Structure 1
Amino acid sequence: MGWLHSLFSPLKKLWVRLHSAHKKSRGIYILYDDVKSCPYEDVHVLWSILVESHKPPALPPIG
């Protein structure tokens, strides 16, 4: 049965790595609900600045 464990162990590690990478890809947006429910305007302004700074760069115009 050791061979069975040696076969599935790397697959399990790969599965965990891929699954955890998916959660990390959400980045700062995991805080969105907390920010949305916050009553302070300062928090909303800081959030908008943070979101604007994380947008992908715009593509240059074609033509």
Structure 2
Amino acid sequence: MGWLRSLFSPLKKLWLRFNSANKKSRGIYILYEDVKSCPYEDVHVLWSILVESHAPALPPIK
């Protein structure tokens, strides 16, 4: 039975890693959909500030 556990252990670790990353992006998407459907302009402004502050910086053009 130990050989069976050793066979599935790496697959289980890979599944858990993939599943947790997937939940994180799904949560951001749900939040984005909630912000889009919100009628208040303040929420949209705060969302745009949040997105702009976390945007990856582009390398300078030479």
TM-score, normalized by length of structure 1?
0.74
Map 1:20-39 to 2 at 5 A.
Answer: 20-24=20-24, 26=25, 29-30=28-29, 31-39=31-39
Distance in 1 between the 2:53 and 2:27 partners?
Answer: 11
Runs of 4+ aligned structure 1 residues displaced above 4 Å come to: none
Q: Alpha carbon RMSD of aligned pairs, Å? A: 2.1
One-letter identity of the residue aligned with 2:11:
L
Aligned to 2:15: 15
CA offset at residue 53 of structure 1?
A: 0.5
Greater helix share, structure number: 2
1:40 aligns with 2:40: yes
Percent of aligned positions with the same letter in both sequences? 72
